[in-house]
Amino acid sequence: MRNRILSFLLVLALSLAVVLPAARATEDVLFAGLNNKLFPPEKETMPRYFSGVIYMPYTFFSSDDLGVYFASNNSEDTVLIYSSTKRLVFNVKTGTVSDHEGKQLSPSAKAADGVVYVPLWLVCSFFGLDYSVISAEPADIIRIKSSKDVLNDRTFASFYKPTMQAYYNEYTGVTEPSPSTPVSPTPTETPQETYPGVTLFLGFFDLAPGRTEMALSQLSSARYKACFFATAEDARQNGDLLRRIVAGGHTLGVWLQDGTFEEYEKAARLIFEAVKTEPLIVASEYAVREAAADMAQENKLIYWSPTRRYVKNFTLNSFSSQLATRTGTRESLFFACSENTVSVLGSILSHLRSRDYSVRRITETSAPTVSVG
């Protein structure tokens, strides 16, 4: 009898493991919007970040509203995005993209999980479309617009907020908890203050290989993503490290020491050789921040200026005390990959989770268009 009971429990446990959906990471969920329409997060419509750049499934582009359509040739591993007057041909196998005049463009398509993705900014700029990144809960919205006669982004996100939550719960397998009677804390308890409405963006620079590996390991344990800013020298000497950064779902950017376009161009070329992705995000030493920001704006790059930098001589207590003095709901925190950083990073990440901060990687858009709580 005892063996039968154990066998029954084992079968039940295995069946539950099969039936229950696996939870997905919040940061991997993105909603797609088209003019005034919101799409559920599905394989054919959900945007995706590759090294901080937004990509869309090529099958998304099939709409009279956009005037842009798709076609594919499986035998040649190519996908076509076209309008009545223009076309882009993406060759997935060779990693190339060309227009209707044969001009070579970049970046090309990406294939992942059986889906071919195309870079959104290239498609939109080529066909005269507009898009925005709306920071919202429970997940950000990538909204493509072909008309000015649409809801503004704030109204769009507010209108669809209940729908997004329902879509999100279904996608992640989350069931809304039933209401329960709140329990008041005893007089001796001091409720821990939490900050679910505060978003923190993490960046790392000074990528010494050994210490960067340790930072990657700590981020992986905490299930957080970040942006790693590499110099040309980092890319030349540590291509394997950059590939591991990208493979871990993190973003790569360029770290500028002089703030010139020539410096960016050299680093971007070497990073592309290492990971086959052109970085669009840049940050810099404090002394050249103005020159770097001007250069980025002139060349349509994204310059990210941190709210706080941590290099050395900081502790968990000093970090948490400084963070408590913040005045806004969005901050970017940059850490040098120093001995000091790797010695306290695990404690810092645990602190951020215990206080319910929203921790995100730096991506293509430095300042999302709208913040909706």
What is residue 252's predicted lDDT score, i.e. its pLDDT? 95
CB 217 within 8 A of CB 248: no
Q: How many residues would you count in the chain?
A: 373
Q: Rounded to whole angstroms, what are the CA distances from 98 to 82, 109, 116, 213? A: 12, 11, 16, 37
With tokens 């809304």, the residue in question is 176
Q: State in words which class domain 199-371 has.
A: alpha beta
At residue 176, what is the residue type? E
* pLDDT per residue rounded down to tens, the chain (373 residues): 445 444 444 444 444 333 333 334 445 789 999 988 899 999 889 999 987 789 999 999 987 778 899 999 887 789 999 999 999 999 998 999 999 999 999 899 999 989 999 999 999 999 999 999 888 888 889 999 987 677 788 878 888 888 899 999 998 887 655 555 555 555 555 567 888 889 999 999 999 988 999 999 999 989 999 999 999 999 999 999 999 999 888 999 999 999 999 999 999 999 999 998 889 999 999 999 999 999 999 998 999 999 999 998 899 999 999 898 887 888 999 999 998 999 899 999 999 999 999 999 888 754 443 333 3
- As a whole number of angstroms, the distance between CA 212 and CA 205 comes to 9
- As a whole number of angstroms, the distance between CA 62 and CA 85 comes to 15
What is residue 64's predicted lDDT score, i.e. its pLDDT? 78
DSSP H/E element including 57: strand 53-57
CA-based nearest residue to 255, from 215, 219, 309:
309
CB 236: neighbour CB atoms within 10 A?
15
Virtual CA dihedral for 72, 73, 77, 78, nearest 10 degrees? -50
For the chain, domain boundaries: 26-172, 199-371
- As a whole number of angstroms, the distance between CA 248 and CA 27 comes to 13
Contacts of 195 (CB under 8 A, 6+ apart): 355, 356, 357
Q: Is the pTM of this model over 0.85?
A: no
Q: Rounded to whole angstroms, what are the CA distances from 321 to 87, 90, 232, 326? A: 54, 50, 35, 9
CA-based nearest residue to 373, from 194, 158, 200:
158
- As a whole number of angstroms, the distance between CA 169 and CA 46 comes to 15
Instruction: State the fold for domain 26-172.
Output: Copper Amine Oxidase; Chain A, domain 1 (3.30.457)
What is residue 182's predicted lDDT score, i.e. its pLDDT? 56
Q: Rounded to whole angstroms, what are the CA distances from 31 to 25, 144, 307, 327? A: 14, 11, 28, 29
Strand order in the sheet with 104-105: 69-73, 78-82, 87-91, 96-99, 104-105
Looking at residue 119, what DSSP letter applies?
Answer: E
Taking only Cα atoms into account, the Rg of the chain, rounded to an integer number of angstroms, comes to 23
Angle at which helices 261-275 and 239-247 cross, to 10°? 70
